[in-house]
Amino acid sequence: NAGVTQTPKFRVLKTGQSMTLLCAQDMNHEYMYWYRQDPGMGLRLIHYSVGEGTTAKGEVPDGYNVSRLKKQNFLLGLESAAPSQTSVYFCASKDPIPGLAGEEQYFGPGTRLTVT
Amino acid sequence: EDQVTQSPEALRLQEGESSSLNCSYTVSGLRGLFWYRQDPGKGPEFLFTLYSAGEEKEKERLKATLTKKESFLHITAPKPEDSATYLCAVQASGANSKLTFGKGITLSVRP
């Protein structure tokens, strides 16, 4: 049981290049999330998905797109990278249990992206 | 707008010196308050969920408590391996409500 995995671990892009970050989870979770973490700031939600085939915008969605074609995978795309997108990106997943007041999210190890 | 403020930003303790980390929050109906631990270069690791004022949870040297305005993470007799960044997050009530995170508290425990 690997939990939440992210690919790649590190990447350097030039301004204007595109790339896709892959998140995979083997816990059969319904919900998946993409966050970015920058120094001096809390984790900020980029996009999320409440099930296969669904996506929704979070707090900072501009410049990113996502897809959830399979339940276990959640892809984050950068169409034209900008230096402001230099960050550490985390994927998370959870299973909303009916009747429970709150549910913890399980995080992946992160992808460190630098845009020059 | 939901808000989470953690203090202090950084805390240095001597091994065995107990202390508390604070998480103040404002949220439109609390569904849950979460504590995570994050080691350098790794993703956040879940510690506790608290649901209502007065609730307490413990795990080894850590105890989390909750009031209507804040949560404390008490660390009793810390060890160097407790050094990490501790994150607090709140989830508001409502369908598909999302987590709002604080900036974290970096704890360093000296041997």
Tell me, yes or no, if A25 comes closer than 8 A to chain B by beta carbon: no
- When pLDDT is cut at 50, 70 and 90, the band that residue A2 belongs to is confident
pLDDT tens by residue, A7-52: 999 999 999 999 999 999 998 899 999 999 999 888 999 999 999 9
The reported pLDDT for the residue numbered B43 is 97
User: What confidence score (pLDDT) does residue A112 get?
Assistant: 97
The rounded distance, in Å, linking the Cα atoms of B53 and B66 is 5
Cβ-based burial of A16 (10 A; exposed 0-12, middle 13-18, buried ≥19)? exposed
Q: Give strand pairing partners of B34.
A: B49, B89
Which of B90, B98, B100, B105 to mutate to probe the A interface, most A CBs <10 Å? B98
How far is residue A46's CA from residue A65's CA, in Å, rounded to a whole number? 9
Identify the closest residue of chain B to A108 by CA–CA distance. B43
Nearest to A6 by CA among B47, B35, B41, B86: B41
Nearest-by-CA chain B residue for A10: B41
Query: What pLDDT score does A99 carry?
Result: 54
Strands of A19-25's sheet, edge to edge? A4-7, A19-25, A73-78, A64-67
pLDDT at position B93, please? Answer: 83
What DSSP designation does B82 have?
G
Question: What is the rounded average pLDDT of the residues B75-83?
Answer: 97
Percentage of residues in chain A having pLDDT higher than 70: 95
A contacts of B96 (beta carbons < 8 Å): 48, 50, 56
Tell me phi and psi for residue B92, to 5 degrees: -80, 160
**Does the beta-carbon distance from B102 to A42 stay under 8 Å?**
yes
Q: Which SS3 state, helix, strand or coil, does residue A83 take?
A: helix
Confidence of residue B45 (pLDDT cuts 50, 70, 90): very high
pLDDT at A31: 92
In the predicted structure, residue A4 carries a pLDDT above the cut 60: yes
* Chain A residues close to B33, C-beta within 8 Å: 102
pLDDT for A98 equals 58
Whether B24 shows a pLDDT value over 80: the answer reads yes
Q: How many CB atoms lie within 10 A of CB B102?
A: 21
Distance CA(B86)–CA(B103), nearest Å, equals: 9
Q: How confident is the model at residue B94 (pLDDT cuts 50, 70, 90)?
A: confident
Mean pLDDT lowest among A11-25, A87-101, B11-25: A87-101
Residues B78 and B63: beta-carbon distance below 8 Å: no
Asked if the C-beta of A104 comes within 8 angstroms of chain B's C-beta atoms, the answer is yes
Least confident of A69-73, A76-80, A82-86, B28-32: B28-32
For B5, the token pair is 């403020």
Chain B residues touching chain A at CB-CB below 8 Å: 4, 31-34, 36, 41-46, 49, 51-52, 87, 89, 91, 96, 98-104
pLDDT at A101 over 60: no
Residue B97 banded pLDDT, cuts 50, 70, 90: confident
Shortest distance between the Cα of A15 and any Cα of chain B, in A, equals 24
CB contact under 8 A, B103 and A41: yes
What is the predicted pLDDT for the residue at A55?
96
Burial B76-98 (b: 16+ CB within 10 A, else e): eebeeebbbbbbbbbbeeeeebb
Minimal CA separation from A48 to chain B, in Å: 9
CA angle A61, B41, A40 (to 5 degrees): 55
